[in-house]
Copies of this chain bind each other. A is one copy, B any other.
Amino acid sequence: MDTNETYQKLIDHFREYVDLAEIDIDRITSKFEIIYIKKKDYLLRAGQISNHMRFIVKGSLYVYTLDEKGKECVNQLGFEDWWINDLYSYLRQKPSEMYIQANEESIIIRISKKDLDILFKEVPAVSEFWRLKIQNAYVLLQERIFGNTHIDAFTKYKAYVTKYPNIEQRFPQYMIASYLGITVEYLSYLRKKHLSDLF
């Protein structure tokens, strides 16, 4: 995937939400930077302050924290066309507790907080875009909260893999389990028990 193609993916993404004048396109893309990362590379480590918004052009990543016992707790799995970040650290400019790591070879396009804040001022469409995006993300999170609070493990699991059908091919079971807040052993047990419900 060449540079132009990569920037085009970003623009296409913006245009799913807002109109962009030709003149804005350059102002936007000139502030973004392309990053190529290999499997297991980190985009962010606990202790660092997240200074960029990142958009996944190709590949997939996972975000996790470590609990008191040093176990990884997955907070987010993301693929192509998703923004991925620790918004807490980014927005408040405080050290993150999260790690963002590549699940496979990936292409990321990123913008610094400084530049994005400039874009918000200079290009209203970007501000508008961001409001829409974050509203959307909020609604999705809300659904996820409901799922995590009032729904049993297998139903959660089934809903998740149905919503993102190829997640099982791309992420290992133990990450999906951690994301859903259940143990990998129990998930394995459930999958066997409900085999017939899965196909």
Listed in ascending order, the chain A residues whose CB lies under 8 Å from chain B are 65, 67, 73, 75, 87-88, 91-92, 120, 124, 127-128, 130-131, 134-139, 141-146, 148-150, 180-181
* Given A91-B139, A134-B135, A135-B87; A145-B146 close (CB under 8 Å): no
A88 touches B143 (CB 8 A): yes
B144 touches A73 (CB 8 A): no
Pick 27 A–B contacts, CB within 8 A, sort by A.
A65-B146, A73-B146, A73-B150, A75-B142, A75-B146, A87-B135, A87-B139, A88-B139, A91-B136, A92-B139, A124-B127, A127-B127, A127-B128, A127-B131, A131-B131, A131-B134, A134-B138, A138-B138, A138-B141, A141-B141, A144-B145, A145-B148, A148-B148, A148-B149, A148-B181, A149-B180, A150-B181
A75 to chain B, nearest CB (A): 6
* Given A75-B146, A148-B145; A138-B137 close (CB under 8 Å): yes
Q: Is the interface of A mostly helix, strand, loop or mixed?
A: helix
A51 to chain B, nearest CB (A): 16
A141 touches B145 (CB 8 A): yes
Q: How far does the alpha carbon of A73 sit from the alpha carbon of B130 in the complex, in Å?
A: 31
User: Could you say which residues of chain B place their CB within 8 Å of the CB of A149?
Assistant: 73, 148, 180-181
Q: How far does the alpha carbon of A124 sit from the alpha carbon of B120 in the complex, in Å?
A: 11
